[in-house]
Homo-oligomer: A and B are copies of this chain.
């Protein structure tokens, strides 16, 4: 698919060119099934994302079974799923000028996402994430950031931000140091243009690493917050989900909090919407939260109710966890139109 044609305000909400602009770490995933003993042997925290250097990535890769490579990256997955649902989507992220970078660029383009960021020449290689899938469908991730550490303010095209209804940022962006500046610049440009800023907390350990910066950003610059139970509890340092959820309700205009099989909770001011999970056979949970955010934002920017946003989010998440890999295999193009009005 080609990216959407350039700005034509007629028919677009508020004259925007894109519904969603994602900014994140551009990563190629390497997925392989492993026994539980692999995780313990390599001192990995099951279910978490760990940052690793090039040597450690190489060591883990050597020990891994044969893998399957697919384009990944949290916000990039969200963009690909949202485009599959029919949203107009753009993405900013940094790949290298190498084979894996070409794979990433091909796949996000083929998903129908506009991806204008030029490849990095002469720096680190394209980032990769070694994803170990256990028999219980949980994924444990080891990310070598590579070229992603070069993403900074300069890569944020303010005109693109201003032309997008929602700028969506992944929490993982707080890990490469220069990206925090990109993050803030994007948020400022979005608000200056009267657009919304959405954030996914990504990972409880990522929140632990950057809690003060996250708290400041969420309270001051985020309109729409996505988190799962452990992430929202980590952000507000609360053991009780209800307490953390109440704090999120104060901090942001809209919060979508996911609870795995228990579905999700959507909070907006005094309003609370409970959404059931869509049942499916769970094969690999990689990308579940990314797909949830995609469905939610695709419905929200199409002007649907919060209940419809939550339901499309759950449909998208169910599709992605029903197979290996974080991007949809089933045709999702009719799901938005099929939602109850």
Contacts and interface: CB of A to CB of B under 8 A. Distances in A.
Interface of A: 32-33, 61-62, 64-71, 80, 98-100, 103, 106-108, 110-111, 125, 325, 327, 329
A66 B68 CA distance: 14
Given A66-B110, A67-B110, A68-B325, 16 more contacts: A33-B329, A62-B106, A65-B110, A66-B80, A66-B107, A66-B108, A66-B111, A67-B106, A68-B68, A68-B70, A69-B69, A69-B103, A98-B99, A99-B99, A99-B100, A99-B125
Contacts of A64: 106, 110
A80 to B, nearest CB: 7
B70 A106 contact: no
Contacts of A99: 98-100, 125
7 contacts: A64-B106, A66-B80, A66-B327, A67-B70, A68-B69, A68-B70, A68-B325
A110 B60 CA distance: 12
A71 B80 contact: no
Nearest to A28: B69
Across chains A and B, which 8 residue pairs bring their CB atoms closest together, nearest first?
A66-B107, A69-B69, A99-B99, A66-B110, A65-B110, A68-B70, A99-B100, A66-B111
Contacts of A62: 106
A66 B61 contact: no
A125 B65 CA distance: 24
Chain B CB count within 10 A is highest, among A62, A64, A107, A329, for A107
A111 B64 CA distance: 10
Nearest to A108: B66
A131 to B, nearest CB: 13
A176 to B, nearest CB: 21
Nearest to A30: B103
Contacts of A70: 66-69
Nearest to A329: B33
A105 to B, nearest CB: 10
A327 to B, nearest CB: 6
Contacts of A69: 68-70, 103
